[in-house]
Structure 1
Amino acid sequence: MGLGGISLWQIAIVLVIVVVLFGTKKLRGAGGDLGGAFKGFKKALNEGDAAKVESKAQKPS
């Protein structure tokens, strides 16, 4: 048994069908776009956290 009742063979068949339908070039481009989106999101979160820490440090107690 695999994930949620899906066997390894079923996952492999679905992956082969996706590669045949879309091609490796489109999948590589989509993966790159998704990775870029995650990097941007992570960067925005880190900048937001840094701004909060900086504003707390500047406030007089």
Structure 2
Amino acid sequence: MGSFSIWHWLIVLIIVLLVFGTKKLRGLGSDLGGAVKGFKEGIKDATTEDKPAEGSAPNPPAAQQVKDGQTIEGEVREKTRS
């Protein structure tokens, strides 16, 4: 009971092609490829956002960045009674 030979894998491939068809498998492959490509672009974008541009001044503290009428994103938490 060793590993499968090439003939076993060919038979499995033929059965999969007969069950799903080439059109559905091609669509599945293109969807998977698009997902991988999107994931790689997201990772690349995240790493470029983390690195500051060369020669740029460091960001001032958050209190100095807020201007009048500017929306601030935050999180509201419920007070807990002690």
Q: TM-score range by the shorter chain?
A: 0.7 to 0.9
Q: How many residues end up aligned between the 2 structures?
A: 57
Residue 21 of structure 2 aligns to a residue whose secondary structure is helix
Gaps of 5+ in 2: 60-82
CA distance in 1, matches of 2:25, 2:33: 12
Report what 1:19 is aligned to. Answer: 17
Higher helix share: 1
Shift of 1:12: 0.7
CA distance in 2, matches of 1:17, 1:9: 12
The aligned amino acid for 1:20 is L
CA distance in 2, matches of 1:44, 1:58: 26
Shift of 1:7: 1.2
Report what 1:50 is aligned to. Answer: 48
Shift of 1:54: 2.6
Aligned residues with identical type, % of pairs: 46
Report what 1:32 is aligned to. Answer: 30
The aligned amino acid for 1:39 is K
The aligned amino acid for 1:27 is L
TM superposition score normalised by structure 2 = 0.61
Bigger Cα Rg? 2
